[in-house]
Amino acid sequence: MESPTDMSFPRVLVASCRELFTLAPRVPFGHERRRDLRNPRRITLGGGLLLVLSLVLWAVWTYLGRRDMWHMFDLNVYYGAVHRLRDGDAIYNNPFGGWNDGGGLPFIYPPFSGLLFYLLLPLGFAGLKWFMAIVNLLSLFAVVWATWGMLGYRRGLARLGISAGTFAVVLWLEPVEWTLVWGQINLLLLALIVLDLGLPDSRRYKGIGVGLAAGLKLTPAIFIVYLLITRRFRAAAVAGGAFAGTVLVGLVCAPSASLYYWSHLVSISGKVNSKLSVGTLNNQSVQGMFTRMLGDGGATSVLWFLLCLLIGALGLLAAARASLRGQELVGVVITGGLSLFVSPISWSHHWVWAVPAFVLLAHTALTRARPLWWWLTGTFFVFFAAWPLRLNVLGNWDGAQTLQPWGLIWLAPRDLDRERHWTPIEFLLGNGYLFAGIALTLILVWHILRDPTPLPVPTASIPAPTAPEPDPVRSGSARH
């Protein structure tokens, strides 16, 4: 059997680029052999009990800390903004909600997002909070269910049980908790993308979820590029058509707001910086890191562009190669990570991509059955988990504060320009999500691109494979 070391990394990189830019047909995703788990009833019972216990604990914690954990400030911004949807550019030129001094924050999403919240105005803000909490919890379960499905696990009691147990764990990840606290739509966007890309390539409507997600918030449009470079041109066209449909709906239903948004996109996106500095700890993006180091200047922009270009090129190449090998979840996780790295602003609650990444690590630990992978999975959870801490807005311990779901990155000093004076340890901790994400991405990129094994070639009829699927982290030629 050919060893991954038979070819140097540069030669494999060149070969991977050649594979990427060919128009040869790919093996469709969704024809892989299905995995089964033993003791499905025991797994279902255990997972169900964990899910119920986790939800009860979350509900009790939310009730006890409802002053801070049930305010849903970002949802209040959306709720206030959509009242001005019919007033032309007013939705984008006024602050909404209350932030510290009561000045509020701008609404920066496409008009299509505003239209969806506009339809929910009859619920009132109290009803809207309940609605968003339920939608986010259902979206989280849908993400976990679809993610295990992308790894090849067969539908049934066992997958239901392992999904329930995983839900019980990832509910306590800090990005998930703050999405619920702020009333954000990150989990809904994640569900639209993962459910869509988890469909077999034979589905004619594959791509609609990606297009809708891009219509709600522009960042998911990177997955249209992902579909293109993985040779799923029909799905990419469907996604592009769905995105264009959201733009058209906005133009028809809110023409003034839509024209203003699409003609002032850059200035609207930059309005957040007037209220919240790009360099604040909460922004776990490449630009956020360089802004904390060097300030908001030309050097920051140049370094941000160069690093994003390097990571983006290698990441998309590896994501495409993983997908072409049938390792769809690996490709999706890498692309989701890239969307966080290259975006100028990636607040900590945007990092809900930690959910499918955790499932990928847990699956690798299960299939490889080595203590190292369990340690890596546990370390990943500990670092991204929400811990009940009494911290004030500056990151200082304050016994007068209620217990809130702070992640470990929040232990670094923040705001009032204190990020510019971090010690080396605080620098590593304060950029923790970004560094952890880049490290995981580079590990996946290395294992994928160093494998010289040719990509599978489609046949007229795709028989059931006789060999087990390749490990999602190890190279495709490795033995288990």
% of the chain beyond a pLDDT of 90: 58
CA distances to 62, 67, 76, 156 from 123, rounded to whole Å, are 21, 21, 13, 36
DSSP assignments along 284-323, one per residue: -SHHHHHHHHH-SSHHHHHHHHHHHHHHHHHHHHHHHHHH
Count H helices and E strands in the chain, helices first: 21, 2
**115 band by pLDDT with thresholds 50, 70 and 90:** very high
CA distances to 130, 148, 169, 447 from 355, rounded to whole Å, are 23, 11, 10, 21
Q: Say what the pLDDT of residue 471 is.
A: 53
CA distances to 69, 73, 103, 142, 279 from 97, rounded to whole Å, are 16, 7, 8, 30, 22
The pLDDT of residue 400 is above 60:
yes
DSSP assignments along 41-104, one per residue: HHHHHHHHHHHHHHHHHHHHHHHHTHHHHS--HHHHHHHHHHTTTTSGGGGTSS-BS--TTT--
pTM over 0.75: yes
**What one-character DSSP code corresponds to residue 217?**
S
Q: Say what the pLDDT of residue 149 is.
A: 94
Burial degree of 123 (CB within 10 A; 0-12, 13-18, 19+): middle
Determine the Cα–Cα distance for residues 3 and 1; give it in Å rounded to an integer.
6
Q: Roughly what angle, to the nearest 10 degrees, separates helices 186-197 and 124-150? A: 30
**36 band by pLDDT with thresholds 50, 70 and 90:** confident
Measure CA of the first residue to CA of the last residue in the chain; give whole Å: 13
Nearest to 428 by CA among 289, 278, 279, 277: 289
Non-local CB neighbours of 103 within 8 Å, separated by 6+ positions? 95, 275
% of the chain beyond a pLDDT of 70: 91
Low-confidence winner among 155-164, 178-187, 448-457 (lowest mean pLDDT): 448-457
Tokens of 240: 């592009």
Give bridge partners of residue 283 from the DSSP assignment: 347
Mean pLDDT for the stretch of residues 134-140:
98
262-317: pLDDT as tens digits: 998 888 877 776 667 788 899 999 999 999 988 877 788 899 899 999 999 999 99
Tokens of 24: 């040869």
Mean pLDDT score across all residues of the chain:
87
Dihedral over alpha carbons 472, 473, 478, 480 (to 10 degrees): -70
The pLDDT of residue 213 is above 70:
yes
Is 393 within 8 Å of 415 (Cβ atoms)? yes
**Higher-scoring residue by pLDDT: 215, 32:** 215
Is 24 within 8 Å of 233 (Cβ atoms)? no
- Tell me which amino acid residue 73 is: F
Q: Say what the pLDDT of residue 479 is.
A: 35
**478 band by pLDDT with thresholds 50, 70 and 90:** very low
Query: What are the residue boundaries of the structural domains of the chain, listed by start?
Result: 14-449
